[in-house]
Each structure stands twice: as structure tokens, then as C-alpha cells.
Structure 1
Amino acid sequence: MISSKISEWFYLYNKEIYHFLVYYIGSSDVDDLVQEVFIRAIKGFDTYQGKSSPKTWLFSIARHVGIDEIRKRKRLRVKQMIRFWDEQPDKATPEEILQLNENNRLLYQAVQSLKANYRDVIILRGIKELSVSETASILNWTENKVRITYHRALKTLQKSEGGFSL
């Protein structure tokens, strides 16, 4: 029962989870993280209460997987800096990692420059086009907080160098 339900959700949502994690992490190498999302979904299936849609529950898991990965990468960078004091850390640029066209690269940089709350809500609402209620459920916020934060994040993006609007 659990594995068939998770398999069904995988086929429905894996591409959306993949795209979310690419924006969230800043790397197109997120296949393992997508798998981790669904492994955590299997392990935590008995905690899924059906109060939100499976999609929002999976995005919530994906967000936590992304946070864990960012922390892991930061720890790794610190270790590399300590070990290789006189060498520059990771020289890869976002365009090399994501191989995006110029506009997408600029948007990616603008989104990554936002503070975490703004980045979360921009990715979920503006890029993944989730509803206010779905976003609120994923972030564990009120719907009003989602609306206000999204509005402020959009204003910040519009003031950025590229003048982006979603």
C-alpha cells in the first residue's frame, strides 16, 4: 500500500520536486536529493495525516532536504577552506553549474541573493506556481504571511539589478 502510493506520487511529482531543488540548491545535480525526498516520504508515510495534499507534503519534505543539503555543502566548504587555506574554494559559477541562458542565470542569481524567507516563497509561489495555501502548508506559515512575504520578495526582486518580475 505505502510503496504503491509513494510510487504513484513519484510519477506525479518527481519533475516538480526536481525543479524546485535545482532552484533551491543552485545545482542541476539533484537526482539523489529527489530520491531522498521520496525515501523520507516512505519512512514518514505514517505521519502523513492527509490535512494537506500529497504535493504540498512532498514539497515540505523537499524543502527540508534542500536545507540539509545546503548546510552539508557549507560545512564541506568550510572544511575545504581550512584544509586548502591558500587555494580558492569551488570555482564553479552558477552558469557553469546550471548551464542556463543569460536571463535564467540572472534570475537565479537574483533569487539566490534574497534572504531565505523571500527565496522560499519566490521559488514556491513565483517559480513553482503553488497556491497560497499550498505554500503556507509547506512553510508552516499563515496564508497572510505568505501573501505579505511574497509581495515584499517581489518588490525586492524588482529593485534588483535585473528588475525581475514573476
Structure 2
Amino acid sequence: MEKEEILKKALSGDIRSFQTLFAEFQHPLKSYLYRLLTDRNDVDDLTHDTFIRAFDKISTFQQESSLKTWVFKIATNLAYDHLRKLKRWPADAQDQGARLAIGTPDIQQSFRIVHQTSGAGAYDMKEHIDFCFTCISKTLPIENQVALILKDVYDFPVKDICLILEKTEGVIKHLLHHSRDTMTDIFDHRCALINKNGICDQCSQLNGIFNPKQNQQEQRMKLELVKESGKFDRAALFALRTTLIKAIDPLHSPGTDLQDIIMRCTRTAIADVGDFFEPANSHAK
């Protein structure tokens, strides 16, 4: 059946047709929500709520944008309602998480168990760079974070981001400029991969813990980000980060379970959640 015919049936209230269309972008929608929310349980809940809300309102879809953009707008609004109840993350959130893990043997053991027993418990430096990007992006105001991730990670055109955030093109471009500058300033100060004076070398440290037989410098030099860092072109380095991150699905990667438990520890450390040992969903399917 042609896509136009499926959409026509969906618009008339056929839920199976809507499910077919929704499934085409469900994976990027969930990974987008994870980058915003950093919690698998919340992602599952909001994905379900987005589906229900979108199907209930499908008769109002005027096709001024793609269905994907329209659904992402609904998901973004739901995420915004959730996130505005929480505080923005500090730039040292990962440091706080590391201190909690180092000072809590049970948490350290939980990391080791996931690494040793999970099929998605591998450690890869590239995935941790993605983790770091997510943590740093959560220091931004919500609208800035949304605009940045939609444009630089999911390649949404500015005109679609205008529709999603209900802002003018000038405002969206300002949000993007400010967000990139803020992120770059934090990376300049923190990241030891691109700046020898950076205060954070968590990527290499964790790689050394979970992959002790690997040559750490060799692993670092495999990254284009590290190779180009000597030139220290801020815009180019940020673009290299986003290129790397686009290739990673935080919910479907070899190390997603390990990164998720590290994220859960980080959220606990900054009091964004309660008990670290509350049950979390297993690896997303």
C-alpha cells in the first residue's frame, strides 16, 4: 500500500495504519527522548503517551509538516512538561557521579556485574563521548537543549524546529548559536581528549577499568576528535563530536546497558532521582 494511502487511513482513525507510520520513526523518537530525559522508564512512558496523544489528535494534523515532525512536537511538549519540574544539571554532574561511585562499593559492583553479564555491557570510548554530550547538554535551558539536539544530532531543518518549539527562525538560530557556544565552552574547560588542561579524562579512565588490556593512548588516537584537537578549531571540534554522536543510538549499542547504569548513578548523585537501586528497565528492544 502506498504511504499516502496509509496516511489517509490513519487520518480517518485507523489505528493500524497509524501504528505503521509511527513505527517508521519510533527508534529515533525514543533515542531523542532518552537524550532529553536520561531515564529509560520515562522514555517508555512518554513514547506511549506520545502515541496515544498523537492518535487521539490525528484529525487535527493539517500536513503542514511531515507526520514525524508533528509527532516529535507532541513528544517534545510532553518531555518539556516533565523536565521543567526538574533542575538543570550542573557542568560537574559527571564528577559528582564519579565521586558517588568511588565512594559506594555496591555501585561499583553493579557496574562490574552489568559489564560482565549484559550483552550490552561493553565499554567503548565513543559511546562515553555520547554520554558526556548528553550530560553537558542538560546544563542548557530546555528549549536550547531541544533545538540543539534536533538540529545537530537528528538533522531536523530549522523550519521544522520552528514548528516544534513554536518559535521564529531568528529565535531558533539564536538558541542554536548560544547552545553551541555554551557547550563548546564547557568542553574546552573539561575535556582532556581535546585539551591537555581539561579536568575530565573519564573516557580514558573508564576504558582502562573495563578494558584493562587495551593501550589507552592507542584507543584515544583512533578517534578523529583527538586527531584534530591539536588544531583546536572550536567549531570543527564541536562538529566532529556531533558527527560521532549521530552514529550512536544510546538505546541500541554494544554498551548501552553500562552507559545507562552510569547515567543512573549520575542522576542519583545530583539528586535528579531517588534511590540508585530502584529497578530500571533492562536493555531496550
After TM superposition, is the score higher than 0.5? yes
Counterpart position of 1:8: 20
Counterpart position of 1:50: 63
Taking every aligned residue pair, what percent have the same amino acid on both sides? Answer: 23
Matched, 1:134 2:160: yes
Q: Which one-letter code corresponds to 2:40 in the other structure?
A: S
Matched, 1:70 2:96: no
Q: TM-score, normalised by structure 2?
A: 0.46
- Asked whether the 8 Å contact 1:34–1:62 carries over to 2, the reply is yes
Gaps of 5+ in 2: 1-8, 87-103, 112-120, 195-236, 243-285
Decide which structure has the larger Cα Rg and report it.
2
Give the Cα–Cα distance (whole angstroms) in 2 for the partners of residues 108 and 51 of structure 1.
30
Counterpart position of 1:77: none
Counterpart position of 1:38: 51
Counterpart position of 2:31: 19
Q: Which one-letter code corresponds to 1:152 in the other structure?
A: H
Structure showing the higher helix proportion among its residues: 1
Give the Cα–Cα distance (whole angstroms) in 2 for the partners of residues 31 and 130 of structure 1.
22
Give the Cα–Cα distance (whole angstroms) in 2 for the partners of residues 153 and 133 of structure 1.
18
Counterpart position of 1:106: 132
Give the Cα–Cα distance (whole angstroms) in 2 for the partners of residues 64 and 149 of structure 1.
17
Greater mean deviation of Cα atoms: 144-153 or 119-128: 144-153
- Asked whether the 8 Å contact 1:6–1:38 carries over to 2, the reply is no
User: Moved runs in structure 1, 4+ residues, more than 4 A?
Assistant: none
- Asked whether the 8 Å contact 1:6–1:42 carries over to 2, the reply is yes
Q: Secondary structure at the match of 1:124?
A: helix
1:31-58 per-residue CA deviation (whole Å, 9 max, x = no partner) reads 2221111100111112111111111100
Q: Secondary structure at the match of 2:68?
A: helix
**Of the candidates 144, 148, 151, which is equivalent to residue 118 of structure 1?**
144
User: How far is 1:14 from its partner?
Assistant: 0.5
Q: Which one-letter code corresponds to 2:73 in the other structure?
A: S
User: How far is 1:68 from its partner?
Assistant: 2.8
Q: Secondary structure at the match of 1:52?
A: coil
- Asked whether the 8 Å contact 2:50–2:78 carries over to 1, the reply is yes
Q: Which one-letter code corresponds to 1:24 in the other structure?
A: L
Q: TM-score, normalised by structure 1?
A: 0.76
Q: Which has the higher contact order (CA 8 A, sep 6+)?
A: 2
Give the length in aligned residue pairs.
144
1:64-111 per-residue CA deviation (whole Å, 9 max, x = no partner) reads 121233356x4xxxxxxxxxxxxxxxx99xxx8xx8843122111110
- Asked whether the 8 Å contact 1:111–1:157 carries over to 2, the reply is yes
Q: Secondary structure at the match of 2:181?
A: helix
- Asked whether the 8 Å contact 1:6–1:41 carries over to 2, the reply is no
